[in-house]
Chain A
Amino acid sequence: MSEQGRVITYADAGVEALREEMRRDDSIVYIGQGIGPRGGNFCQTKGLWKEFGDDRLRDTGICELGATGAAIGAAMAGTRTVVDEVFLDFALEAITQIVQQAANISYMSNGKIKAPVVIRGAMGSVRSAGAHHSHTFYNWFANTPGLKVVLPATPYDLKGLFKSALREPGPVVLVEHKSLYNTKGIVPEDEYLVPLGDAHIVREGRDLTVIAMSRMVDLATKAAAALEEEGVSAEVIDPRSIVPLDRLKITNSIKKTGRLVVIDESPSYCSFAGELLAIAVEDCFDELKVPPIRICSLGVPNPFSPILENQMIPSVGRIFSEIQTMMKTNTSRRMS
């Protein structure tokens, strides 16, 4: 990753991606609520309406079903679109259009019709938003053939992945994180793309492989730094896109370290974390020194109380201590 560039926010990185791609491809139309003059609930379209106007920044009322369907229909008819659900939770209002229409259209039409639409929304817990505004069900989309799913963790990755998503032939679900919008990072001045299906080794290590997505990458990196002090060398990998998945880079790391920990903000049951454990078992069974573990949100609706919410989602402390416990696990049974 380039060290050259400016420090900008995650929200601004998304705006830059859109501005560059909307200038490059004048068919791109952006549909959503409050994305015009207001510039988006999370400032995720700040300044774009001034440049591109009502035709290309199309504010709607509260109608995710109709707006998402229209974005998909326009894409089927030859207009590349972005539909902003704002909160990923609100994509549920439109789930039939995403799963039944966008995801299936290429296959159902024998490849004759493509729907180049980016379905954008922010997931995850942020400051007691409560049960209706905090969901993390990105894994549902990954279980739907025909959808690509990306989860940028940094401003650099958001810009690069968003630009790539805007050049994909079919639908991409761009899952941002609400509590990342104000985070900052280095983003190059010059144009770049981050391809889908290219995992990022955030930090190299020898003793175990930690895989984390979205906001959990930051927590995993902090826990890895603390573990370093204890003499544990953790390799942190961010898949960045989960469909397609960079299976090779992930399994190479697991084979190297023999230990896998997955940090996932979704509840563990039927999660993407579970998929990664399955991959480890399928591809790295002989190299695993100890059983892989998942550190996930608890399987409860998002609580309102800060105390309860903090209890529910993974924390640096919990990651640190669970990895410490894992490192103490006797590996002799696998070595016999």
Chain B
Amino acid sequence: MTERVLDEQLDQKLLLNYYKKMLELRLFELKVQELYRNARLPGFVHLYVGEEAVAVGVCSNLEPADLVFSTHRGHGHALAKGVPAGVVLAELWGKTTGSSGGRGGSMHMYAPEYGFMGTNGIVGAPIPLATGGALSAKLRKKGQVVVSFFGEGAVNSGSFHEAVNLGSVWNLPVVYVCENNLYATEMAFKRATKNTSVASRAAAYGMTGVEVDGQDVMAVHAAAKAAILRAREDNGPTLIECKTYRYVGHHEGDPGTDYRTRDEVQQWKQNDPVKRARKLLSELGESDSKLAAADLEIEQLIDQAVDFADKGVEPSADSVAEHVF
């Protein structure tokens, strides 16, 4: 058996895991969309459909004790970091069984027991928080690594500049992962900045910048692996730009069609990360029956999550003042 074959077998096993995780993220969000459209979920949701390879490619390198600071489009990050789908969905439902007991919702869900330090309602704000988390990790010397997810919409904010600069000058164990999905709400990145290469901005802070195909889970995994190793060995932060795309509108309710063409959306769907992984698995020799079994397993997982969340208890009204301080 040649070394190459061994590599392929190893990759195939990992790829199957990543495929299943990406499918979980995809089906979860489509279920959320359905529940939301049927007015079963309160609040506002920003779905991660189309960007699954980024969360899964990055988080598949992380240890349970590593920390993730996420964004308003963060359900996928929570799931990829290991928060059970039922717990995430229960939070979207405002149930006590949710990750924040119904006090947070989509943009304010926290599960530190899984190293998930929160989604966030404020664009850019998690980047300084993640930098601080990395400062804490560095001082505690336990080899913990922090991942800061944000969209390209955050990189023209002062939060990005100040935080990334601090992360670099303090040589912190943090990986800054930009999910460049081309639009900040409706604002095209090329209309917001002259320099549309986020990775190139790393040079301004004296750190390594990497650009990667965000629709290729193995490519994201490889880039994140190197960056996370660099962080874990106390060799400083990395800025990774993942070129990706959201198929849905900015939030549920935004058709997402008045600032981009249907052709553009269709083109990105041709390069779908979940389908790509499934096709690659087939090419590597994974049987149809095994892939079908994987699909069924994830469908059942989502059904169970809905069941768990649906059965969850609502908070009692008189608990409203708990946990303020």
Contacts and interface: CB of A to CB of B under 8 A. Distances in A.
Interface in A131-183: 145-146, 148, 169-170
A190 B128 CA distance: 38
Contact of A106 (B99, B134, B137, B324): B324
A73 B130 contact: yes
A78 B136 contact: yes
B233 interface: no
Interface string A106-125: 11111111000000000000
A79 B140 contact: yes
Interface string A63-107: 101111111111111110100000000000000110011001111
Contacts of A107: 103, 323-324
A105 B110 CA distance: 9
A113 B69 CA distance: 13
Given A66-B128, A109-B110, A110-B103, A76 B133 contact: yes
B322 A111 contact: yes
B163 A79 contact: no
Contact of B128 (A27, A79, A97): A97
B150 to A, nearest CB: 13
Given A66-B165, A66-B166, A111-B323, A55 B108 contact: no
Nearest to B128: A69
Nearest to A168: B325
B137 A77 contact: yes
A60 B111 CA distance: 30
A240 interface: no
B100 A108 contact: yes
Contacts of B166: 60, 63, 66-67, 70
Nearest to A106: B323
A113 B120 CA distance: 14
A169 B165 CA distance: 29
A101 B165 contact: no
Contacts of B129: 69-70, 72-73, 76, 97, 101
Q: Point out which of A60, A81, A112, A145 has the most chain B C-beta atoms below 10 A from its C-beta.
A: A112
A97 B124 CA distance: 10
Contacts of A29: 135, 139
Interface of A: 27, 29, 55, 58, 60-61, 63, 65-79, 81, 96-97, 100-101, 104-113, 145-146, 148, 169-170
Interface of B: 67, 69, 99-104, 108, 110-113, 117-118, 120-122, 125, 127-137, 139-140, 146, 158-159, 161-163, 165-166, 170, 322-325
7 contacts: A67-B128, A69-B127, A72-B132, A76-B129, A77-B136, A97-B128, A105-B110
